[in-house]
Amino acid sequence: MGKTYLKYLPLVAGGVFLSILITSCKKDNSAPTPVSVTPAPLATLGLYEVDSGIYKRVFIPITKVGTQTVAYYSVFDTGSAGMTIDATGILPASMITSSGITVTGDSVTVNGITVTSKASMIAYGNAQSEIQEFGNLAYTTVTIGNQNGNITTSRIPIFLYYKIVDKLTGQKQPAHSNDVFGVGPGLSYANTAIGSPLSYFKSGTGATSGFKLSMFSNAAFSPNGTYVANLLTIGLVPADIGGLTSFVMHPLSNTSQWGYSPDIPATIRYNGQNVAATVLFDTGTPAISTIANSKATSNISSLPANTPVTITTGQGFTYNYTTSSTNNLTQVALPSYTGDPRTIFSIDFFIKNEFLMNYKAHEIGLKNN
């Protein structure tokens, strides 16, 4: 058997080759079957809702910075752009001094974090209430979310600070007491090298760069913090931004120096007055909304409880609320006193409304619920 097989092997092989050759010469008229791609967001994450008296905060978990596993919570802030985080617990203690972060040369890489020698200060608040952070520009990957769901960024710019100071009192604040996860459009007003960490994500399967916030749960705010699943969706699908969406979309203006601004033209009505305003909807303002009115009769005053307030944007979005002693607290201020010409609505707005940021189309979506 072995000899017979060897004798005819060349013929068998030749026959196989001829068969393949004939088959390959046949014309294939069939069209390829199209592959259907279902658009999907990159991730849907939970956030922590915390309150302390009238003050409310929403935090996003930070579980890894570079190669360093951590457990910190950053303020989720629609009113700023860029991530800032205290260097304590992230960099070796020997690198952090009372006068700055030690960097030899232009930069140094440690724990997967490239810390540059570019030092600066970032401030939050206004002329009457300002928190200042002092630190350095850095580049690294960041993991957000926790064991219930998380996602890791590409290598992005962040601000590592070594000191926090209350400008009015001059007092230094505790480490990590003002970590900020700024998701606004454009660039940081204080450091144009950084932008929203969410804006650096590549688009998902058929998704658009941006994010969507579900309504915050008023009942979930608690002193110890309550984890609320599925509040943040990263990546927008056509149903979020197409013609059938129920969001009212607001195109944003390009400020050139800082990129696109989150401020929206609107009219504010209260106590029989209509005030033309530039409005910021700010999850980073924990308690009191401020209506900027250049005709106010005092530097700053609080609206009494049970005062109706109406917001009407130039794109037709309308929202009504009534002040109380514990929620929707609102004050009226002279811009010359606060140093800020904007009207800023606090985190209470997000308890009754959904919010959407489209980084690609440079627009904000608002939706009543």
Q: What is the pLDDT along the chain (369 residues), one digit of tens a residue?
A: 433 333 333 333 333 333 333 334 444 555 565 556 788 899 999 999 999 989 999 999 999 999 999 999 999 999 999 999 999 999 999 999 999 999 999 999 999 999 999 999 999 987 777 899 999 999 999 999 999 999 999 999 999 999 999 988 889 999 999 999 999 998 887 788 899 999 999 766 789 999 999 999 999 999 999 999 999 999 999 889 876 678 999 999 998 788 999 999 999 999 999 999 999 999 999 999 999 999 999 999 999 999 999 999 999 999 999 999 999 999 999 999 999 999 999 999 999 999 999 999 999 999 998
The number of domains in the chain is: 2
On whether both 145 and 280 belong to a single domain, the answer is: no
Question: pTM (2 decimals)?
Answer: 0.88
On whether both 142 and 242 belong to a single domain, the answer is: no
Distance of CA 24 to the CA centre of its chain: 55
Domain boundary among 235, 260, 287: 235
Identify whether the C-beta of residue 250 lies closer than 8 Å to the C-beta of residue 363.
yes
Token pair recorded at residue 357 = 């940021």
Residue 248 CA to residue 35 CA, distance in Å, equals 33
Residue 319 CA to residue 255 CA, distance in Å, equals 27
On whether both 170 and 101 belong to a single domain, the answer is: yes
Domain boundary among 206, 235, 264: 235
On whether both 122 and 202 belong to a single domain, the answer is: yes
Domain membership of residue 226 as a residue range? 43-235
Question: In this structure, is the dihedral angle defined by the CA atoms of residues 66, 94, 134 and 114, taken in order, positive or negative?
Answer: negative
On whether both 178 and 98 belong to a single domain, the answer is: yes
Within a domain: residue 15? no
On whether both 80 and 186 belong to a single domain, the answer is: yes
Within a domain: residue 204? yes
Within a domain: residue 198? yes
Specify the CATH number for the domain of residue 282: 2.40.70.10
**Do strands 318-322 and 353-358 pair parallel, antiparallel, or not at all (unpaired)?**
unpaired
On whether both 74 and 202 belong to a single domain, the answer is: yes
